[in-house]
Amino acid sequence: MSHALTPEHSTTGSHAQAGSWKEHQTLGALAGKIWLPALVTGVAGLVVAAGAAAFTGGLRQFLFAYLTAFMYVLSFTLGSMLFVLVQHLTRAGWGVVIRRMQELIASAVLPLSILFLPILVAVLMGNGEVYQWNNPAFVADHPLVQAKASYLNSGWFTVRAVAYFAIWIFITRFLLRNSLKQDQTPDPSITIKLEERSGPLIFLFALSCTFAAIDWMMSLAPEWYSTIFGVYYFAGSMVGSFALLNLLIILLQKPAGLLSPISVEHRHDTGKLMFGFTCFWAYIGFSQYMLIWYANIPEETLWFQARQNGGWEYVSLALIFGHFFIPALLLLRRQFKRSKSQLAFVSVWLLVMHYVDLYWLIYPQFAPSPVFGLVEIGALVGLVGLFVAALVKAAGQHSLLPLNDPRLDESLKFHNI
């Protein structure tokens, strides 16, 4: 049944039957209960990581662990941001009830931008231990890096980083502000405006996401290059953001009693998307691997060489099976996506594997053999804690569901075959 985009439509019918759930869809007192412990955990985690790093790998190890954890939490906001844009572009009706959750996750990019400062400051202070292109002695010995010096230098790196965060903050604020405005009025012109602007915004997003992945992770191996690298990070981000979304929905539904209009049908679809992007991640990862494997050019294979030796080969295999074959085969079953406990299980599983994926992308540049200890755990716990605090802050006392979207009715009635 198609639903016309008229204000009358959403004000009638849906109000009468759904007025009950619209009253209490904010975090309410829960926000206060989560915010402070998350913040304390986050700061404590970072302190532990910094303290442990002082005894082991020093600043270099701390920055690597911090970068890995930062890219991990950042990916949730990027994945959610893209999917909100896609929903507007495709005029999706089914997903209206899950869209606000994604808008709020994406909005956490604003506080996260402050957490990028340690890396930026390290680069600006001339630290060349993480990004070797910032180390004059290294550059002097590597003609290929010299050739890239006009792109890979601390000043231009900073300008770009600021630009990426500016774009993301602009996109998320635009999406959330208008979506919240729609809560007050059922005027469809707001939805139409969001749909029109999403086209140009998705171009900005694609470019910034690709270049951010290249700048912050690919340039750790400054001689190596792969044009698909940005897409690879994006694909993993989508898996991570859907895993997080599923988990949040299930957690907020059961103990907190929120989000009751999100039904098994919506979770089934977010599960399908998580499954789809798991396959997409594998597809992109394999595309990158196969071209390099087949061409067999030393300057390209050196990156995979590092990931197939010294213990990294087990991490690579863990990714192939843990990030693709096992979750894909599990999620292939319809029942797995519709059961709350099973979907939560795969979501947690994929959240873990998504961290392993980023660890595998970044850490071989740190050490020829896997290193995982208090520094890495501390940085991960720290940034996840701060991210949760940021998320709660971004959610504030906003409704976790859109209240007056013209397609809300369609979304509430959404039904899989």
| Rounded Cα–Cα distance for residues 320 and 386 (Å) | 30
Give me the least distance between CB of 2 and other proteins, in Å please: 9
Planar angle of CA 68, 71, 73, nearest 5 degrees:
110
Q: Which is nearer to other proteins, 4 or 415 (CB)?
A: 415
CB 9 → other proteins: shortest distance, Å? 17
20 vs 335 by CB, closer to other proteins: 335
Closest approach of Cβ 334 to other proteins, in Å? Answer: 7
Residue 24 vs 334, nearer CB to other proteins: 334
The footprint of other proteins on this chain (CB under 8 A) covers a number of residues equal to: 12
Least gap, CB of 152 to other proteins (angstroms) = 26
Residue 353: CB minimum distance to other proteins, A:
20
In the complex with other proteins, the residue whose CB is nearer, 289 or 345, is 289
Whole-number Å distance between alpha carbons of 252 and 260: 9
Q: Give the footprint of other proteins on residues 276-335 (CB under 8 A).
A: 286, 289-290, 293-294, 296, 332, 334
> Of 197, 1, 183, 219, whose CA–CA distance to 104 is shortest?
183
Nearer of residues 187 and 223 to other proteins, judged by Cβ = 223
Please identify, using beta-carbon distances, which residue of 140 and 348 lies nearer to other proteins: 140
**Contacts (CB under 8 A) with other proteins, residues 100-129:** none
Binding-site member from 16, 143, 257, 415 for other proteins (CB under 8 A): 415
Nearer to other proteins, 75 or 278 (CB): 278
Q: For residue 259, is it left (φ>0), alpha (ψ between -120 and 50) or beta?
A: left
Binding mask 330-369 for other proteins (x = CB under 8 A): --x-x-----------------------------------
The CB-of-254 to other proteins minimum distance in angstroms stands at 25
- The answer to whether the beta carbons of residues 87 and 100 sit under 8 Å apart is no
Residue with smaller CB distance to other proteins, 55 or 294: 294
Question: Residues 78, 237: contact at Cβ < 8 Å?
Answer: yes
The binder of other proteins chosen from 1, 29, 137, 297 (CB under 8 A): 1
Q: In the complex, what is the shortest distance from the CB of residue 107 to other proteins, in angstroms, rounded to a whole number? A: 33
Distance CA(182)–CA(327), nearest Å, equals 37
C-beta closer to other proteins: residue 29 or 417: 417
The 234-273 site mask, x for binding other proteins (CB under 8 A), equals ----------------------------------------
Minimum CB–partner distance for residue 48 and other proteins (Å): 41
Site track 60-79 with other proteins (rule: CB under 8 A), x = hit:
--------------------
Q: Is 3 a binder of other proteins (CB under 8 A)?
A: no
> Do 328 and 278 form a contact (C-beta atoms < 8 A)?
yes
Nearer Cβ to other proteins (103/410): 410
Minimum CB distance to other proteins, residue 286 (Å) = 6
Q: How far is the CB of 283 from other proteins (least distance, A)?
A: 8
* Spatial contact of 263 and 256, defined as CB atoms under 8 Å apart: no
Using the minimum distance from each CB to other proteins, give the nearer residue, 319 or 375. 319
Rounded least distance, CB 197 to other proteins, Å: 32
Look-up of token digits 């050196």: 302
Which residues of the shown chain bind other proteins in the complex (CB under 8 A)?
A: 1, 286, 289-290, 293-294, 296, 332, 334, 413, 415, 417
